[in-house]
Structure 1
Amino acid sequence: MSNVILKVENISKQYRLGLVGTGTLSHDLKRWFYKIRGKEDPFLKIGDTNDRSKEAESDYFWAIKDINFEVEQGEVLGIIGKNGAGKSTLLKILSRVTSPTTGEIKTKGRIASLLEVGTGFHPELTGKENIYLNGAILGMTKAEIKAKEQEIIEFSGCERYIDTPVKRYSSGMRVRLAFAVAAFLEPDILVVDEVLAVGDAEFQKKAIGKMQDISKGDGRTVLFVSHDMNAISILTNRVILLKNGNIAFEGDTDEAIKEYLKGDSNQLYYQYSGELNKPKILNARIETSLPNNVHEFGKPIKFKFTIHLPYNIENLALSFQIIDEYNIPITHSWIFDDDNDKKRQKGQYTFIAEYSEPKIYFGNYSLMVHFSNSKTKEKFDFLDSVCHFKVEMMKTTRSQYKWQKNACKYIEDVKWEVFNN
C-alpha cells in the first residue's frame, strides 16, 4: 500500500503584475467568453517566467509552473530557493490559502500551516483564546484542544502573557505561540515557512527538535521552507530546489544545498549584450590579487562597473553588496550623484570601488549590484549573484590567524572613482 500522503500534479499559478485578476474589464470578459464556450483560458498561454532580476515583457507571469512531486508519510521535505523563486506561493496553494491556476493536489489528512508571523491570530483576543480559535480552524474539537492546551503554553514560553491580547506580543512571541499551536494539535501535514527565523536561537532549536519528533516519533509529515541551510541539513533528507518558479533540483539534501549555494552561475565576469535603449549595467568585474578570481586575505581589491546612459540622468545611484555563499550580505557600498551635485550626460561611465584593506573572511563570495535613481527610486538595472570570487589565506602565523578570524565580515575605507568613457 502506498505511503504517499501528498501528491502535487502539474501545479501552476499565474498572476497579473500590479493588479488583481486580469486587471481590465476587456480581459475579464474575454476570459468569461472563452469559459462559457468550453475553451481554455487564453491568459494561461501567456506570461513571463518568475525571474525577479529581469524586467517583465508581459503583464502576466507564472509564480510557479508545472510543479510535480510526492511526499510520503513521516517524511520531512525541505523546499529551498532564492527570494522570489516561488516557495511561499507553493506553500499557500498546498495550505489552501490560494488556489492554483492549473493542476491538482491530493492529500490525506489535515494540514496545519505556519506561513507568516501570527497567521490566523486575532489581535484583540488573548493568547489562550487564539489557541482555541486556531484549533477550531484546524478542525479540532474543544475537548481535543483542551487536552493539549497546557503543553502548547509551556512549549511557547508565553505563560506570563497567555491572558494578554496578542496585539501586544512581539513578533517572536507570536511565532512561538503559532508554532506551538500548529505542532501540538497534531496535524497530518505540518507546513512551516521561513517564520522560524524570527524566533531566537533557543526557540529555533526547540522548533527543529519538535519537527523531528513529529516526523520520526509520530510519523507525521513536515514541509519545511528555510534559507538556513544548517537547519535544512539537520532536519531533511530530501529537498526541492525552486528557481524562477520551476523545480531546478529534487533529491538528496546535501546535493540540493550544493546546487543552491552555487547560485545562478559561477561567472567571473558579467557582460551585457542586449539592446541599449534603457540605462543598463554593461559589465561588472573584480580585480583580485591572484588569478581565477582568487583573492589573498587583506590585499587591496577593486570592483569595476561600466554603465550606459541613453539620456541625461540626475540623481544616479550605483551600489553593490558582497554576498557570502549562504546568500547573506557582508557589506554594502554605494555612490550617489546627489551627494556630489552631479548631473550625468548620456554616454558610458566606469565606476571603480577600491578597498585598500578588505577584511573579508575566507570563503566564497559574489556580488549583487543595484543601479537606480536615488530621488525617484526608479530601478534601472539589477544584477544578482555575479562575479564570483574566493578569499584565501596564503601564509600566516598563529597570532595573525587569530587577528584575521576576529576581523571577518568587515570592510572599511572604500574609495570610489568615476571615469567618462
Structure 2
Amino acid sequence: MSEVVIEVEKLYKMYRLGTIGTGTFRRDLQRWWTTSVLKKTDPYFHLQGDNTTAVNKESILALQNVSFNVHHGEAIGIIGSNGSGKSTLLKIISRITRPTEGVVRGKGKVSSLLEVGTGFHQELTGRENIYISGYILGMTKTEINRKFDEIVAFSGVDKFIDTPVKRYSSGMYVRLAFAVAAHLEPDILIVDEVLAVGDADFQKKCLGKMREVSQTDGRTILFVSHSMQAIKNLCDKALWLDHGKMQAFGPVSAVINNYLNSSLHTNLRQTWANPKEAPGNDWIRMKHVELIPILSDPDAPMDIRTPLTVKFQFWCLKSEVHLSVGLLLFKATGECVFDLPSTPTLTKKGIIEGECTIPGNFLNDGSYYISLGFVKDTSVPLFDFSECLSFDLQDYRGDIKWYGKWWGAVRPKFPFELKQTNKVLY
C-alpha cells in the first residue's frame, strides 16, 4: 500500500447566511484569537450531539463530518449534485479557506485548478500572461521558459500569443489559462469542473493531460466533474457527497452506480386491483403497466445498452372490439421518439395483455416517458394513458474518449467497419 498523501478527518465547514464573518468586529476578533492564536475550537460553532443539520436558522453546514484518505498516485473523483459541498471541500484541501472544525493533512506540493484564468490581466498579451499566471501558480521563470512552447502549442493560440487577451474569444482565453495550469508539476493536482467550459477538442485535451499526469507521472489527482464517464475513465475511486455529507467512498464503478440510482426520477410500475378505481373509460380500464430493464447486475443503473421490456394489462369492457395499442416514447422535453402500433386484434371482454421490448443500443442517454394509446378499428381513438411510465438512461462510452453530448434522439449500434485495401496511392 502506497503512503497516504491527503488525510481528511472529521471535517466541518459552517457558513453564516447573509453575513460576513460572525456579524460583529468584536466577535470576529475573538474568533481569530481563539482559533488562530490559541488553536482552540471555534467559539461560534457548536454541534448538538450527533446533530449535523444546520446549526441554526442563520447558519448552514456546507460539509458535515467528512473523513477519508487519499494514497500516493490515486485519482479520486468527487461527485454529487450542485450544492453538495464538492467545491468547498477542494477549497479547504487547497488551503483557500479554513475548515470550521476538523483536520486536513497533506504531503507534497499542491496545485489547484479551481478558477480557470485566475491572475490574467486583460491589457497584457498572452505571452505576458503566461509568465504572470505561471508565477502565481508557483512556477519559476526557468520552468516557464522550458515549457513555454509546449504551453502555447497546447493552447492552440500561437498566432495570437502577442495579442492582448482582452481581444481573445472566451474559448481562446480559457484554453490559454488551462494550458498554463496543466503544465505545472505538482505532487497533488486538484481540478474543479474543467469540463464545464470549452469545446470538444478542449475537453479531450483536458482529460488527456490529466490522464497523463495520473497514469504516466504517478501523481495524485482530485477531480470534480458531473461527467460520470470522465470520472470512470480517469479515476480509481470516487467520493460521493450529498448536502455536505459523505454518502460513499470506494471503487469508482460501485460509487457511481449508487449515486446514479439515487438520482433517477423514475416511474417504472403502476397497478390497480379494481377496475372502478383504475384509469380508463367505458371501453378500457388499466390493470397493470410496468417497465422492466434487463440487467445482468440488478444494482447497475439503466444505460444505453439496457434492453427495456414494457408489459401491460387492461380490462377490455366491450366484446368484439378490433383493438390495437400504440406505444409512444417521448423525450422529457416532449419530442416523440417513436409511435409503435401493435398488431390489430379482435378482442372479447376480459383481461388483455401486451408486451414490447425496446432493444439495447438504440436510445441515446437522457430522460424519457411512455404513453399508451388505445385505438378501435385502427382509426377510432378509445383511450390515451399519457405518461404512464418514466425512466432515465445513463450514458456509456466504453473505450471511446469523446465525452461531449452525443447527438441524436437515438443511438443505434449498426455494423460499421473500416477496411484496409491493397491499393497504393502515388
- TM bin, normalised by shorter chain, reads 0.5 to 0.7
Per the alignment, residue 157 of structure 2 pairs with 158
Residue in 2 aligned with 1:81?
Answer: 80
Query: Post-superposition shift, 1:389?
Result: 2.8
Greater Cα radius of gyration, structure 1 or 2: 2
Cα contact 1:365–1:388 (8 A) shared by 2: no
Shift of 1:291: 2.7
Which digits, 9 at most, give the CA deviation of each residue in 1:99-158, with x for residues without a partner? 211222222222221112312323332222222122222332211111011111101111
Report 1:133-172 matches (<5 A).
133-172=132-171
Residue matched to 2:424? none
Q: Mark the CA change 1:171 to 1:255 in structure 2 (over 3 Å): closer, same or farther.
A: farther
Letter in 1 for 2:257: K
1:208–1:43 distance in 2 versus 1, CA, 3 Å: same
- C-alpha change, 1:39 and 1:114, in structure 2 (3 Å) is closer
1:18 equivalent in structure 2? 18
| 1:122 alignment partner in structure 2 | 121
Runs of 5+ unmatched residues, structure 1: 270-287, 302-321, 323-329, 332-354, 368-386, 393-404, 410-421
TM-score (norm 2): 0.61
Contact 1:123 1:166 in 2 (8 A): yes
- The 1:362–1:66 alpha-carbon spacing in structure 2 relative to 1, beyond 3 Å, is same
Higher share in helix: 1
Q: TM-score, normalised by structure 1?
A: 0.62
**Aligned equivalent of 2:46:** 45
> What is the DSSP-based 3-state SS (H/G/I as helix, E as strand, rest coil) of the residue aligned with 1:117?
coil
Match of 1:163, SS state, is coil
Q: Choose the corresponding residue for 1:299, options 312, 328, 344.
A: 328
Is 2:390 the partner of 1:389?
yes
Written as runs of structure 1 = structure 2, the 5 A alignment for 1:107-256 is: 107-256=106-255
1:61 alignment counterpart: 60
Q: What secondary structure sits across from 1:62 in the alignment? A: strand
Q: How many Å separate the matches in 1 of 2:150 and 2:218? A: 19
RMSD: 3.8
Contact 2:61 2:244 in 1 (8 A): yes
Query: Residue 362 of structure 1: CA displacement?
Result: 7.3
Counterpart for residue 91 of structure 1: 90
Instruction: Tell me: CA distance 1:155–1:194, structure 2 relative to 1, closer, same or farther (3 Å).
Output: same
Pair 38,132 (structure 1): closer, same or farther in 2 beyond 3 Å = closer
Decide whether aligned partners of structure 1 residues 256 and 299 sit closer, same or farther in structure 2, where only a CA change above 3 A counts.
same
Q: Offset at 1:391?
A: 7.5
Residue of structure 2 equivalent to 1:275: none
Give the SS at the match of 1:205. Answer: helix
Q: 2:300 — aligned with what?
A: none
Residue pair 1:12, 1:63 contacting (<8 A) in 2 also: yes
Aligned to 1:259: 258
1:49–1:61 Cα contact (<8 Å) kept = no
- Cα distance change, pair 289–82 in 1 and its aligned pair in 2 (3 A): farther
Which range is displaced more, 136-145 or 167-176? 167-176
Counterpart AA for 1:259: N
C-alpha distance in 2, partners of 1:202/1:17? 40
The Cα of 1:43 is off from its aligned counterpart by 2.8
Q: Which aligned pairs between 1:273-288 and structure 2 lie closer than 5 A? A: none
Q: Distance in 2 between matches of 1:94 and 1:290?
A: 52
Q: 1:159 to 1:246 in 2, by over 3 A?
A: same
1:18 deviates by 2.3
Please give the per-residue CA displacement for 1:141-193, whole angstroms capped at 9, x wherever unaligned. Answer: 21111101111110111112222223333333233222221221211111111
